[in-house]
Every structure is written in C-alpha cells, then in structure tokens.
Amino acid sequence: MAKTALITGVTGQDGSYLAELLLDKGYTVHGLIRRSSSFNTERIDHIYQGPEEPERSFVLHHADLSDGVALVNLLRDIQPDEVYNLGAQSHVRVSFDAPLYTGDVTGLGTVRLLEAVRASGIHTRVYQASSSEMFGASPPPQNEGTPFHPRSPYSVAKVYSYWATVNYREAYGMFAVNGILFNHESPRRGETFVTRKITRGVARIKAGLQDRLHLGNLDAVRDWGYAPEYVDAMWRMLQCDSPDDYVVATGEGVSVRQFLAFAFEHAGLDWREHVRYDPKYERPSEVDALIGDASKARELLGWKPDVKSRELARIMVDADIRQLADQLAGATVRVDR
C-alpha cells in the first residue's frame, strides 16, 4: 500500500527535494508550511497540486513548529507512516542575533513534534535533521562517536533535538533517527549561505550587474555535498529494520577560499579581483573545520555520494547563470511591453 509522509520545512532546500523523491516513490506527501505575508513556496510551486486534481498526492497545511496543538491535530488527521522534521531556523550566523527564537523553533520545536506523535497515538517513524554543526570545535574527521562541542545557539539547539530524539527512542520505543548531515548545497540553497552567495555573485559579476562580493572568514573548511543525494540518505534511514543515527558526508574538506576559486574559475573569473572582506559576516565563535566520516551510512544504508565540491560549484554556477539570464529576459519582455 502507498505510504504517507509528513515533511516539516517542506518549503526549504531539503524539503523540496525530499518531497520530489517521495512522490517519485509513490508516497502521498503532506507538507507543513507557515503563514507568510509574501510567497514562500517558490521551491515547491512546480509540484503543487490544486484542489481540482482528482487524486492529490501532495498536500500543504498551515502550521508552525511553535504551535504544539496544531502539530497534534495535523498528525492525528494525516496518520503518516513517516515524519521528516526538517523545519528549523537554520542559519548559524542569524542564530547569534536570535538565540531564543532559534532555541524555540530548532530545539523545542522537535520536542513539540515528538510529543505530538505520542499525544496523537499514531505509530510513525521520525527523522530528525541533525547537523555536523553539533561537532563544532571537535577536530575532523567527525563520525557518530565524535563528542559534540556546539559553537552557536543554532548548534546548541540541534544538540538538544538530537538527544530528545534519542531519548524518545529509548523511553517510548519510538522509531526515531538522527541524520547527522554535513553541509549540502544545490541551486535551491538559500541565497545567504556561503556557497549560494558565491555562485549567485559569480553569475551577477559575469553579467556585469555587480563588481564586488563581500564575505567573512575564508579559512573555514566544510564538507560540501549535493542536497538531492542527501535526501535519499534520509529516506534510507527510515527504511531500516531498527532506528539508529548516521553521519552523512562526502569525506572531502574544502575551504571557503577553495570553493571561491572553483566557482569563479568555472566562469572564467579571478575571485581575488572581486572578493572583499566584511567583518559583519564573522561569527562570535566559528567552527573551523568539519569533514565527515560516513562509513556507517555507506555500510548499513548502502549510501554513497557522487558529487564533490568542485562539481557542486560547477552545478550551482551554471544554474545561477541560467536563472539570471531567464530573469533578465523576463525583465526585458516586461520593459518592452
């Protein structure tokens, strides 16, 4: 029988790819979206199905991770086989400006969801979007046994959610797993995360729309993978016989400076001529190096990434150049009329 899934954070980068993956597998997918005064469904508009569709397999619901009662009602109504908790205030730098809000949504929001599963009395499998940021100051390579040393309000909240997920598994026998995902990017990545900021900047510089790109710490090392491959690992974790926690990563560490070089070179540009330092993008406490060891996921989930950072930079630069060209063509049409 076809399965049903609920995705929180369905409007985000990962939520949109996961929705596509599950729909391809024949799932009925319910997505939680929050009310916004402007459109916030850009990443999923292409899969939206209106009420006129005879059999809708993709359904959106207004709710919020800060509203526990809405979560109980939603779970009771949908009775999903699988719940993917991807919703979060996910920006590390922003979490220093909004630590309480981040704690409420990214930390307590997970417990509200886990409690809602219990309160609604349903039997479901739960995926929690844990993060490599939890390792923070612990040196690489990091795996499932590496101690957490979070360095931001965001990662402190994620550590809380991680242990809450483990605790609901141990205390109530819930099938609840943590995917400890290292950075993963795509053309759908939010524009203020560093990779997308760079590739979008490259496209605009190439088109003559801007000359400078302002960035913070270029020495930070990250293990950047490709988001569509990472949502497949999430799904695999919920298909296992028993619940467990897994690191998902490429195993390759690259500095922000190296990623800059990959992206600018691909467009025939020299990053040194365009990039300027701005201290406002520094964090009060930085995470210097995250490089994951995903041996467990490879062995037990049969998961293996194909795209590494150089290829990722190419994919993202090409997509941003295309997107900008489309926008400019649209703008020209509007001006002509």
Q: Is 102 near ligand NDP (CB under 6 A)? A: no
Instruction: Quote the Cα angle for 283-285-288, to 5°.
Output: 95
Q: Is 293 near ligand GDR (CB under 6 A)? A: no
Q: Is 142 near ligand NDP (CB under 6 A)? A: no
Distances (CA, A) of 253 to 37, 102, 135, 294: 39, 27, 15, 13
- Specify the length of the chain in residues: 337
Judged by CB under 6 A, the residue of 56, 118, 283, 308 near ligand GDR is 283
Residue with token string 């003559």: 208
Nearer to ligand GDR, 32 or 248 (CB): 248
CA dist., res. 152 & res. 37, Å (int): 29
Instruction: Pick the closest to residue 61 from 124, 102, 121, 11 (CA basis).
Output: 11
CA quadruple 291, 288, 203, 273: dihedral sign: negative
Q: Is 197 near ligand GDR (CB under 6 A)? A: yes
286 is catalytic: no
Contact in structure between 268 and 201 (CB atoms under 8 Å) = no
Q: Which of 20, 82, 133, 185 does the annotation list as catalytic?
A: 133
168 is catalytic: no
CA dist., res. 269 & res. 316, Å (int): 15
- Chain positions 136 to 195 lying near ligand GDR, rule: CB under 6 A, are 182-183, 192-194
Contact in structure between 128 and 9 (CB atoms under 8 Å) = no
Residue with token string 């307590």: 108
Q: Which of 84, 127, 154, 230 does the annotation list as catalytic?
A: 154
Q: Is 36 near ligand NDP (CB under 6 A)? A: yes
SS3 38: coil
27 is catalytic: no
Of 88-96, 143-151, 230-238, 328-336: span binding ligand GDR (CB under 6 A): 88-96
Of 214-222, 240-248, 295-303, 309-317: span binding ligand GDR (CB under 6 A): 214-222
Contact in structure between 47 and 19 (CB atoms under 8 Å) = yes
Nearer to ligand NDP, 205 or 250 (CB): 250
- Per-residue interface string for the shown chain with ligand GDR, residues 252-271, x marking contact by CB under 6 A: ----x---------------
Which residues of this chain interact with ligand GDR, rule CB under 6 A?
90, 92-93, 131-133, 182-183, 192-194, 197, 215-217, 220, 222, 256, 281, 283, 286
Catalytic residues: 131, 133, 154
